[in-house]
Amino acid sequence: MHTLKIPPRTGNMKLILGIESSCDETGIALYHVERGLLAHTLHSQIALHNEYGGVVPELASRDHVRYVLPLIRSALEKAGCTLKDIDAIAYTQGPGLSGALLVGASVACALAYALDVPAIGVHHLEGHLLSPLLSKPAPQFPFVALLVSGGHTQLMRVDGVGRYTLLGESVDDAAGEAFDKSAKLLGLDYPGGALLSKLAQDGTPGRFKLPRPMLHSGDLDFSFSGLKTAVLLAVQQNQNDEQTRADIAHAAEEAIVDVLVHKAVAALKQTGLEQLVVAGGVGANRLLRTRLSELVGKRGGKVFYPDLEFCTDNGAMIAFAGAMRLQLQPEQRDYRFNVKPRWDLQQLNYAD
Ligand code: KG4
Ligand code: ZN
């Protein structure tokens, strides 16, 4: 049984505790508005879900319960802070798995109530969108953001904190899902994005040509569901040797990256903006980074990436987004929480 002893509180609105628990990572961070990120801790459940080939929601919730308080305690230790130094608590309110979200939300709201500080429900994708601002050099508003995670593929125009416009999105699978499903068909462990990318390095360029749906659709939407069928056919119709698997992985990575790069550059053209921010787990992909930097660079633009540790789910982006929100919105002492497993980022605009 983990317990936290609640001390009396002093101080003002500077130090934000962030709690991320929307899927299969428990992420905790302490962000200070003047001193930056003081500490962050993370527990990944990849090994736990691996044998099932995907995230098992109930196991995810239980594992968040197991880790959330010890991780808060170790983040406080790393930062040299105590509970009484915390001025506000930000938690992921959605989108995500409801049970997993409830763990972070209930801990955040109970702790905030006990400490008499505000609790701020953060949109997970806003966390990803703003995460490049944690790295140096940071982009300036306005910019275009390419959000590429396991659950989402979106192009957003970001005019400022809380001012987001959707430019285009996937009509079916997310880019991360396309990576993971292709990886699964190639016999790789879950989540297979990074593993597929590694296998692709040994692939023969051009042996397989996979479809790039909606590449020339004229809008900024994406479609990736056809790709897994094409990968399935390639797997079934060819010998299952190591070289063939690498060749298919190579073609799959090329197809996904090609579409993402094409649409991201089109979004820059359409908006007339020059800065592109790439956020979400797929943003860790090397080929995507190289291609985007080359092409956007040629146009005189610049691409910004969060540091690799902040690409995938983490508490730092939630603490940071919470800190930004606190500066714009009046603080609230409402500790009733309702998580939002489905939550459109467009509905979030709060700075108009
Ligand atoms: O943002 P994230 O950590 O979690 C979600 O909110 O979904 O993204 C996870 C996704 C997974 O689909 C994973 O396979 C993918 O990001 N990913 C990658 C790479 N690293 C993580 N995909 C391609 N290449 C990578 N290097
Ligand atoms: Zn995420």
pLDDT tens-digit series, residues 83-138: 999 999 999 999 999 999 999 999 999 999 999 999 999 999 999 999 999 999 99
Cα(203)–Cα(262) distance, rounded to whole angstroms? 22
Peptide bond into 7 cis (omega under 30): no
pLDDT at 10 over 60: no
CA of 152 to the centre of ligand 1 (A): 10
Which ligand is closest to the CA of 125, given by its number?
2
Question: pLDDT for 152-206, tens place per residue?
Answer: 999 999 999 999 999 999 999 999 999 999 999 999 998 999 999 999 999 999 9
* pTM of the predicted structure, to 2 decimals: 0.91
Mean residue pLDDT across the chain: 94
CATH top-level class for 15-129+312-347? alpha beta
Residue 47: the pLDDT is 92
Q: Decide: 34 and 40 in contact? Cβ < 8 Å.
A: no
What is the dotted CATH code of the domain comprising 140-305? 3.30.420.40
At 168, is the secondary structure helix, strand, or coil?
Answer: strand
Beta strand segments in 178-259, E: none
Q: Does 149 score more than 50 pLDDT? A: yes
Q: Can you read off the two tokens belonging to residue 321?
A: 């987004």
Q: Is the pLDDT of residue 223 over 80?
A: yes
pLDDT band at 350 (very low <50, low <70, confident <90, very high): confident
The contacts of residue 304 (CB under 8 Å, 6+ apart) are: 132, 135, 137, 138, 139, 143, 275, 276, 277, 278
Q: How far is CA 95 from CA 21, 90, 125, 272, 344, in A?
A: 10, 15, 8, 30, 8
Question: Are domains 15-129+312-347 and 140-305 of this chain identical in fold?
Answer: yes
Please name which of 272, 262, 303, 315 lies closest in space to residue 74, comparing C-alpha atoms. Answer: 315
Choose among 112, 18, 16: nearest CA to 333. Answer: 112
Does 351 score more than 80 pLDDT?
no
Whether 2 shows a pLDDT value over 70: the answer reads: no
Segments making up each domain of the chain, as ranges = 15-129+312-347, 140-305
For residue 151, the CA-to-ligand 2 centroid distance in Å is 7
Mutate to test the pocket of ligand 1, among 125, 131, 179 (most ligand atoms within 8 A of CB): 179
Q: Are 301 and 276 in contact (CB under 8 A)?
A: yes
Give me the phi and psi of 108, to 5 degrees please. Answer: -60, -45
* Sequence-separated (6 or more) residues with CB below 8 Å from residue 344: none
Residue 339 structure tokens: 């998580």
- The helix-helix angle for 193-200 and 175-185 (nearest 10°) equals 60
Q: What is the pLDDT of residue 331?
A: 78
Quick count: other Cβ atoms within 10 Å of Cβ 36? 11
Q: Are 326 and 13 in contact (CB under 8 A)?
A: yes
Tens of pLDDT, residues 270-284: 999 999 999 999 999
Question: Within a 10 A sphere around the Cβ of 273, how many other Cβ atoms?
Answer: 17
Nearest 10 degrees: CA dihedral of 201, 202, 206, 207?
-140
Tell me the sheet residues that pair with 276: 144, 303
User: If you take atom 14 of ligand 1, which residue's CA is the nearest one?
Assistant: 193
> Which residue carries 């983990």 as its tokens?
2
For the chain, give the percent of residues with pLDDT over 90.
87
Q: What is the mean pLDDT of residues 318-336?
A: 90
- Measuring from each residue's beta carbon to the nearest atom of ligand 1, which residues come in under 6 Å? 23, 149-151, 176, 179-180, 191-194, 197, 280-282, 284-285, 312-313
Does 53 score more than 60 pLDDT? Answer: yes
